[in-house]
């Protein structure tokens, strides 16, 4: 059954969209990441214009992260203060990101930027996660290894504006989460992702937050950044397809329920290894597409006159 998407201006099979939302929801349930990094490329693949795909995934993400935060909040695993501080940077970053997006769209380089950013980001993160999870596995098999310190002190701890984050048991400079929020906000706008896969590792390894509060806190700030991106994209580029986002959300709800049940059966390091493989596979596919001779080197874009 086909459904006509009013902003994307294409007809897409509604079951394909539901399946796509479901698959991404499944990943959210299993890994606790938003899955925006998969939704955008997949939407482009089924024929949705890239600019609409990016903006509508941001809209979809608002819903997905709201439901995620509520679940974590009921378990008390959200550091609200940290979330708000991240948000200050996140909002500034998303404004800057949408501005870059509009500029690149005009120059005809937005698709290249989207693909290249994905390759670099996913490639780096996938590789890091892979190394980390393999190390963990090796450590588990080798008993008697000396425990590392809780965290190392480095230049980051010399920054001003120190603040206490009770829930995260941290006393760090507020500039760190603001900066992190900014970077994630920029990517969120350009790539239509929540940035969970950048945010989560950065919170654990850079800020040193306890793992249990990371997903909820990350999702909390993603709600607001994604909402801000949706608003800005709707306003400046008119590329938000609410119908598309809603269909994806419906699929996502079903997928995430199945996913979270499945996720509890796997060990943490196994999860991370699987996620790393998935992320690397997406990066490899995008990198391949960039370097292989295109079927048609020409492309067109039109405007009403």
Question: What residues line the site for other proteins (CB under 8 A)?
Answer: 1-4, 6-7, 9-11, 59-68, 70-71, 74, 108-109, 111-112, 116, 223, 227, 230-236, 238, 240, 242-243, 245-246, 249-250, 252-253, 256-257, 260, 290-294, 296-305
As given in the structure block, the two tokens for residue 234 are: 């709707």
As measured in angstroms, the least distance from the Cβ of 283 to other proteins is 14
| Residue showing tokens 């995934």 | 57
As measured in angstroms, the least distance from the Cβ of 55 to other proteins is 9
For residue 27, CA distances in Å to 20, 106, 258 come to 11, 34, 9
Q: How many CB atoms lie within 10 A of CB 175?
A: 16
Say if CB 192 and CB 101 are below 8 A apart. Answer: no
Query: Between 12 and 178, whose beta carbon lies closer to other proteins?
Result: 12
Query: Between 70 and 140, whose beta carbon lies closer to other proteins?
Result: 70
Gyration radius of the chain's alpha carbons: 19
As measured in angstroms, the least distance from the Cβ of 90 to other proteins is 15
**CA–CA separation, 233 and 230 (whole Å):** 5
Query: Between 231 and 280, whose beta carbon lies closer to other proteins?
Result: 231
Query: Between 72 and 167, whose beta carbon lies closer to other proteins?
Result: 72
Query: Between 2 and 80, whose beta carbon lies closer to other proteins?
Result: 2
As measured in angstroms, the least distance from the Cβ of 180 to other proteins is 23
Query: Between 65 and 133, whose beta carbon lies closer to other proteins?
Result: 65
| Residue showing tokens 């269909």 | 247
Helices (H), 75-154: 80-107, 110-141
Beta bridge partners of 173: 162
Query: Between 177 and 194, whose beta carbon lies closer to other proteins?
Result: 194
- The H or E element containing residue 253 is helix 242-263
As measured in angstroms, the least distance from the Cβ of 303 to other proteins is 5
As given in the structure block, the two tokens for residue 194 are: 């929540």
**HSE toward the beta carbon, residue 289, CA cutoff 13 A:** 16
| Residue showing tokens 């991370």 | 272
As measured in angstroms, the least distance from the Cβ of 64 to other proteins is 6
As measured in angstroms, the least distance from the Cβ of 178 to other proteins is 23
Q: Tell me, rounded to whole angstroms, the distance of Cα 31 from its chain centroid.
A: 12
């Amino acid at each position: 059954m086909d459904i006509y998407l009013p902003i994307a201006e294409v007809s897409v099979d509604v079951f394909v969209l539901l399946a796509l939302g479901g698959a991404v929801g499944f990943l959210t349930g299993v890994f606790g990441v938003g899955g925006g990094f998969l939704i955008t490329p997949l939407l482009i693949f089924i024929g949705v214009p890239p600019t609409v795909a990016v903006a509508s995934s941001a809209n979809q993400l608002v819903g997905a992260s709201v439901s995620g935060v509520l679940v974590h909040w009921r378990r008390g695993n959200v550091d609200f203060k940290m979330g708000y501080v991240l948000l200050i940077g996140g909002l500034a970053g998303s404004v800057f990101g949408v501005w870059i997006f509009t500029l690149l769209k005009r120059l005809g380089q937005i698709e290249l930027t989207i693909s290249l950013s994905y390759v670099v980001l996913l490639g780096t993160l996938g590789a890091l996660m892979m190394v980390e999870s393999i190390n963990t596995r090796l450590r588990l098999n080798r008993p008697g290894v000396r425990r590392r310190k809780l965290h190392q002190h480095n230049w980051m701890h010399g920054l001003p504006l120190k603040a206490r984050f009770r829930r995260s048991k941290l006393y760090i400079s507020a500039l760190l989460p603001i900066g992190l929020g900014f970077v994630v906000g920029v990517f969120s706008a350009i790539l239509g992702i929540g940035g969970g896969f950048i945010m989560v590792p950065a919170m654990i390894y850079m800020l040193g937050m306890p793992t249990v509060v990371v997903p909820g806190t990350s999702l909390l700030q993603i709600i607001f950044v994604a909402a801000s991106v949706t608003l800005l994209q709707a306003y400046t580029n008119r590329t938000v397809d609410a119908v598309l986002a809603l269909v994806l959300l419906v699929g996502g709800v079903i997928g995430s329920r199945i996913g979270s049940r499945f996720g509890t059966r796997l060990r943490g390091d196994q999860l991370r290894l699987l996620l790393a493989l998935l992320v690397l596979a997406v990066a490899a596919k995008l990198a391949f597409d960039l370097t292989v001779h295109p079927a048609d080197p020409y492309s067109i874009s039109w405007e009403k006159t």
